[in-house]
Amino acid sequence: MFRLYILICFLLFSLLSFSSFVFSSNELLNLTSEKGVLKNKDEIKVKYSLYEIRGTTVNELNQERNRKMGAHYAYTAWKVNYSFDYNQKTEGCSIQSVDTTVNILYRLPHWKNQEEASDQLREKWRKFITVLKIHEEGHANNGKISAEELKKKLLNMKQESSCDELGRDVEILAQSIAKKYKQKDLDYDTSTDHGKKQGAYFRN
């Protein structure tokens, strides 16, 4: 029995605003993490990268967001790593087991001087952030579901005459699932207007 490791099967960028996943060292200073599991004990790794904003009015906070993030307050990036065991026999090559890891990064605002603002504004912010996180978790869920689908389909793949042929089939399948869930992220933002229809908007 052999084990084949796939370093990064797919990297999906989900979005409250950006289509790329590039951070400077300063942006990664405020980072925390947590862990979870998928079905069948596959792993989920979650990290939060926080950026600071300051202000005492809605307009000031939105201006800070525009300067640091552009049009939206947050985004979520996720990627799925996978590896599998395969069994090579004279009659062919088949998959025996599959492991997946979902890596999720939330990019979220940290209002640094909110104690200087009014109670009314702080309560508005609290409600906004609560809904914003719910929206971002919708993107992360696409990553979790994609890992589960990938594992299920890999375990159900038919035996091939050679392990090279099996490896090509695995790659085709992985790319197909990556494309499917990239589109689901885009559709999610379209249907929710980037969270606005869920209540994730911050304005006067």
Give the domain ranges of the chain. Answer: 2-198
Token digits of residue 106: 């939330």
pLDDT in tens, the chain (204 residues): 545 544 434 444 333 322 222 222 222 223 333 445 555 568 999 999 999 999 999 999 999 999 999 999 999 999 999 999 989 999 999 999 999 999 999 999 999 999 999 999 999 999 999 999 999 999 999 999 999 999 999 999 999 999 999 999 999 999 999 999 999 999 999 999 999 999 999 998
In DSSP notation, 8-72 reads: EEEEEEE-SS-S-----TGGGSSEEEEEEE-GGG-EEEEEEEEEEE--SSHHHHHHHHHHHHSS-
User: pTM (2 decimals)?
Assistant: 0.81
Say which residue the tokens 């994730």 belong to.
200
**Sign of the torsion angle spanned by Cα atoms 61, 62, 65, 66:** negative
Helices (H) and strands (E) in the chain, counts: 3, 5
